[in-house]
Structure 1
Amino acid sequence: MNSVRRKALAAASALTLGIGLAVAGGAVPAASAASPETTFLVLAPQGAKTDRAAARVAAAEGTVVARYDQIGVLVVRSTNPAFATAVVGAGVESVAATAGLGSALEEGETVEVAAADVAAATATADPTGEPLIGQQWDMPMIGVPQAHAVTAGSPDVVVGVLDSGISSTHPDLASQIAKDRSTSCVGGVVDTAEAAWNPTTSDHGTHVAGTIAAAVNGVGVTGIAPGVKVAAVKVVNNDGFIYPEAAICGFVWAADHGMQLTNNSYFIDPWEFNCRNDARQRPVWQAVQRAIRYSANRGVLNVASAGNSNYDLAHTFVDPNSPNNGTPEIREINGACLDLPAEAPGVLTVSAVGPAGEKSYYSSYGQGVVEVTAPGGDSRFRTQGVSPTTTDQILSTTFNTVTRTNGWGYKQGTSMSGPHATGVAALALSAHPGMSPGQLTAFLQNTAVAKPCPEGVYNPAPLHADGPHAYDATCSGGARNGFYGAGMVNAYNVVK
């Protein structure tokens, strides 16, 4: 669906597998009306304590609900309509309202598979492995079977999944979750109760977690690094929005709780691109960048999805679709406007490919922006003469938030390619502990399998309903290029 392609880093569709298991995950409901109480980010000067800022908040009739002294950021709520003006003064560098600033995590439609089809798929899978491994075309594409002969990962490596929560009852994930490091960050406030970080209206995070670390236990699928642990860091609220304060909380939480990696399959704001020359958005950029820099300094590599809009992120273009929660403004996107967190400095940005190994029709790209590529699925484009199907998407763990049942299903998007790169990074750290985020980024690029640019204009979906040239794209660069960065991540190359 066109709106999904442009607005979200989420899955385009899902397919549930498993006899007796219900369809996983419905569409996320629309955002509710804004509350009279507004949330703000209040930034103290870089490197300064937040005491003076907190005093100004109180004087301006605001309440501090979360205090991130590590980065000089306060999360504040206030019903004072003049708060943003009243709080400005000594001890406050900048302030921005976050009410209504969020990107809907759209998940598209779901498709149910007949039990007979599931049984046939299970019967043809490797009986010595996981029952559904035969449908995980993405795993051999990046050398996972060979890597598992060397290592499946170390439990000392913990990956923070900044997403919609992880089902703690899923048979492929229950043993994989570091519960003592999991939390909800919704609202920018930490809540470590297990119910708080479990999924409520979206199974997106459960799917992502399965790709990274689903257990090898004779049930369902395998993850890329089943020996590592994942921590649920819930940043998606019940309306499907990722607000800046939640993402900031997530980055800081991961840094302070011993995580070496985070996976980020989302973008912040209703604007797909946050413009630093826009006074409405500059404080959000500053606060998010502080949080990312803080986590990197604490040894965390943050991995992010490139996006599903088929944009060339390295060049100026027109975005006619933001904000996604109001009347869109047609505006020119240039170097001052960045997709957060994907284009933030120090973040590993991942594009997507389908079963043919070519750029997925929806994947955004850009020379100097995309570092590596990984399987994300592509239900529209295959090699010539081969018809694509739903199974050309990525199979992983799912959770039906209505019936509260676990399952397995297909989704596609750079939301799915990101966790493939994160899983490979987790294996790399398991085999070679102690690498800094910068060293790990370089290692992933140097061990990737280079992919050249296709010649001419790339037209992956000429029969698409949006038109014969709706997904045209032009790749630039050589061994490292705009479509694939340094190339396809490879699990075996990082552990051998």
Structure 2
Amino acid sequence: MKKSVRLFPHQVEEVVMAISEVPEGLELIQTPYFWEKSKGKGMVVAILDTGCDLEHPDLKDRIIGGRNFTDDDSGRADLFKDYNGHGTHVAGTVAATENGTGVVGVAPEASLLIVKVLDKNGSGTYDSVIQGIQYAVEQRADIISMSLGGPEDMPELHQAIKEAVDQGILVVCAAGNGGDGDPETEELDYPGCYNEVISVGAVDFDRRSSRFSNSNNELDLVAPGEKIRSTYLNGKYATLSGTSMATPHVSGALALLKQYANESFGRQLTEAELYAQLIKRTIPLGYSPRLIGNGLLYLSVDRYLEQLATEKIDGLYVKAE
């Protein structure tokens, strides 16, 4: 099975040495509001990507282990360092620690399992992704986050995802960056368009659907995916765009929701129940579901609904029914 899987095309817009901020994407989805209830403590998010900057000050305390399934570093399984930057950026959006400097992730107390399935060039094989999924299952990850894809529907990959979901693991995937802004056209990348995964498209900070975001009937929701600032190589920070950047917002949000739901319900919720908890925390944006699925991830949807009945929201006046 030598057919390849890859990073979706993405744009590196800026690299800086030092910053100190709560990224704008976290503000858009109302993450700080939800930190009153949960910060993802005890949750393990497996990042299947290009590895990670293991010494980054915002990430080193969150990483609990990992494995390399690529040919980088002569294929040594215990070396899962990032030479590309993409995986480090994704990891920071999920769980950069809250240390008063740099950036903070959606779930700053979650743990990261770094599963390197893409090499320094951002490419890999379906075999490596399948092995990475199986490893994440063996390590009892709560969430698998994949900002990658390919054009081929591979039954073996689909089966590995089904087995992960059967174990109660939430599998989150980027929808892909082959879109043209037209909901009537269909762009499919795998594994993002498998029904079993949570497929994530992108919007900008003005809640406009990103033109590059794939459209299809399998899209579940959207999250910020343009000009996203997060951790990068050599302890730096970078601004990137793509559905790859939207996906970790959802993966981190699921870490928050799973911790909160388990504590609130007094039991482990099923994958289907947690999916329902996620989707109930979305808001409509006025676009076709083929572009945005159920809507924009919005962790304070209860406050949104209260406002909806009485006042304007972000400049949009609505009529109370």
* TM class by smaller structure: 0.7 to 0.9
Query: Please, which of 228, 237, 243 is the counterpart of residue 125 of structure 2?
Result: 243
Q: Alpha carbons of 1:209 and 1:313: their partners in 2 closer, same or farther (altered >3 Å)?
A: farther
| 1:303 and 2:181 aligned | no
Structure 1 residue corresponding to 2:6, chosen from 103, 128, 131: 103
Once residues 431 and 252 of structure 1 are traced to their aligned partners in structure 2, the CA distance between those partners, rounded to angstroms, is 26
1:110/1:416 Cα in 2 relative to 1: closer, same or farther (>3 Å)? closer
Q: Which residue of 1 aligns with 2:26?
A: 139
Percent identical residues = 26
Per-residue CA deviation, residues 393-437 of structure 1 (Å, 9 max, x unaligned), is 0010000xxxxx211110011000000011111100010122222
Whether 1:274 and 2:152 are equivalent positions in the alignment is yes
Which residue matches 1:363? 213
> Deviations 1:228-271 (Å, cap 9, x if unpaired)?
11110001023321210011011111111110101111113xxx
The equivalent residue for 2:309 is: none
CA distance, structure 2, for counterparts of residue 234 and residue 166 of structure 1: 8
Which letter maps to 2:60?
A
Matched, 1:185 2:72: no
Shift of the 175–485 alpha-carbon distance from structure 1 to 2, 3 Å rule, reads same
Give how far 1:184 is off: 1.1
Residues of 2 paired with 1:176 and 1:109: CA distance? 24
SS of alignment partner, residue 194 of structure 2:
coil
Q: Displacement of 1:372 after TM fit? A: 0.8
Higher relative contact order (CA 8 A, sep 6+): 2
In the alignment, what sits opposite 1:451? Answer: 285
The CA RMSD over aligned residues, in Å, is 2.5
Q: What's the CA shift for 1:297?
A: 1.2
- 3-state SS of 2:282 partner: coil
| Deviations 1:202-239, CA, capped at 9 Å, x for gaps | 11010001001000011201101001111100010233
What is the SS of the residue equivalent to 1:197?
A: coil
Aligned length: 296
Conserved in 1, the CA contact under 8 Å of 2:12 and 2:239?
Answer: no
Instruction: State the partner residue of 1:199.
Output: 82
**For the residues of structure 2 that align with 1:104 and 1:145, how far apart are their CA atoms?**
29
- How far apart, in 1, do the equivalents of 2:258 and 2:170 lie? 11
| Equivalent residue number for residue 208 of structure 1 | 90
Return the offset for 1:108: 4.2
Q: Cα 1:313–1:256, aligned 2, differ >3 Å: closer, same or farther? A: farther
Mapping 1:245-260, distance limit 5 Å: 245-260=127-142
CA offsets, 1:110-146, max 9 Å, x none?
5456x8xx7xxx6xxxxxxxx222xx22112111111
Q: Look up the SS of the partner of 2:297 in the other structure.
A: coil
Distance in 2 between residues matched to 1:242 and 1:205, nearest whole Å: 13
Residue 198 of structure 1 and its aligned partner are, at CA, apart by 1.2
What residue is the counterpart of 2:311 in the other structure? none
Q: Distance in 1 between matches of 2:207 and 2:49?
A: 26
- Tell me if the contact between 1:159 and 1:263 (Cα under 8 Å) persists in the aligned partners: yes
Q: Map of 1:13-412 to 2, 5 A cutoff?
A: 41=1, 98=2, 101-103=4-6, 106-108=9-11, 111=14, 131-133=20-22, 136-154=23-41, 156-179=42-65, 182-186=66-70, 192-193=77-78, 196-200=79-83, 202-268=84-150, 273-274=151-152, 285-310=154-179, 338-366=188-216, 368-377=217-226, 393-399=227-233, 405-412=234-241
TM-superposed CA distance for 1:344, in Å, is: 1.4
Which structure's residues are more often helix, by fraction?
Answer: 2
Q: Of the candidates 413, 424, 441, which is equivalent to residue 242 of structure 2?
A: 413
Range with greater deviation from structure 2 (246-255 or 442-451): 442-451
**Counterparts of 1:239 and 1:140, CA distance in 2:** 32
TM-score by length of 1: 0.56
Distance 2:183 2:271 in 1: 23
Distance 1:225 1:173 in 2: 12
User: TM-score, normalization: structure 2?
Assistant: 0.85
SS of match in other structure, 1:242:
strand
SS in 1 for 2:63: coil
Task: Choose 1 or 2 for highest CA Rg.
Answer: 1
CA displacement, residues 9-34 of structure 1 (integer Å, 9 cap, x when unaligned): xxxxxxxxxxxxxxxxxxxxxxxxxx
Instruction: Tell whether the 8 Å contact from 2:50 to 2:117 is kept in structure 1 after alignment.
Output: yes
